[in-house]
Structure 1
Amino acid sequence: MTLQWVPAAERTDLLADPVARAVRDVEGAEVAEIDPDLADTAAFCEKYGVTLDESANCVVVAAKRGGETRYAACMVLATMRVDVNGVVRRHLDARKASFAPMAEAVELTGMEYGGITPLGLPEEWPILVDTHVAEHARVVIGSGVRRSKLAVSGAALAGLKRAEVLSLAG
Structure 2
Amino acid sequence: MPLEWSPASDRPDLLADPVAKAVAGLDVKVEVAEIDPELSDTAAFCERYGVAMEDSANCVVVAAKRGGETRYAAVMVLATARADVNGIVRRHLDARKASFAPQAEAVELTGMEYGGITPIGLPEGWPVLVDENVTRRPFVVIGSGVRRSKLALSGEALVAATRGEVLALTI
| Deviation of 1:117 (Å) | 0.2
| Deviation of 1:161 (Å) | 4.6
| Deviation of 1:160 (Å) | 3.2
Whether the 8 Å CA contact 2:78–2:133 is kept in 1: the answer is yes
Q: Determine the structure 1 residue equivalent to 2:18.
A: 18
Matched, 1:74 2:75: yes
Query: Taking structure 1 as the reference length, what is the TM-score of the superposition?
Result: 0.98
Q: Determine the structure 1 residue equivalent to 2:154.
A: 153
Whether the 8 Å CA contact 2:19–2:144 is kept in 1: the answer is yes
Query: Taking structure 2 as the reference length, what is the TM-score of the superposition?
Result: 0.97
| Deviation of 1:163 (Å) | 1.2
Please give the alpha-carbon distance, in whole angstroms, between the structure 2 residues aligned to 1:53 and 1:106: 26
Whether the 8 Å CA contact 2:62–2:99 is kept in 1: the answer is yes
Please give the alpha-carbon distance, in whole angstroms, between the structure 2 residues aligned to 1:21 and 1:97: 29
Q: Determine the structure 1 residue equivalent to 2:46.
A: 45
Please give the alpha-carbon distance, in whole angstroms, between the structure 1 residues aligned to 2:90 and 2:27: 28
Alignment of 1:132-143 (within 5 A): 132-143=133-144
Task: State the AA in 1 paired with 2:7.
Answer: P
Matched, 1:113 2:109: no
Please give the alpha-carbon distance, in whole angstroms, between the structure 2 residues aligned to 1:138 and 1:49: 14
Q: Which runs of 4+ in 1 moved over 3 A?
A: none
Please give the alpha-carbon distance, in whole angstroms, between the structure 1 residues aligned to 2:96 and 2:32: 38
Whether the 8 Å CA contact 2:37–2:149 is kept in 1: the answer is yes
Please give the alpha-carbon distance, in whole angstroms, between the structure 2 residues aligned to 1:64 and 1:15: 30
Please give the alpha-carbon distance, in whole angstroms, between the structure 2 residues aligned to 1:161 and 1:50: 23
Q: Which runs of 5+ in 1 are unaligned?
A: none
How many residues align structurally? Answer: 170
Whether the 8 Å CA contact 2:28–2:161 is kept in 1: the answer is no
SS of 1:63 mapped into structure 2: strand
| Deviation of 1:159 (Å) | 1.5
SS of 2:45 mapped into structure 1: helix
Q: Determine the structure 2 residue equivalent to 1:100.
A: 101
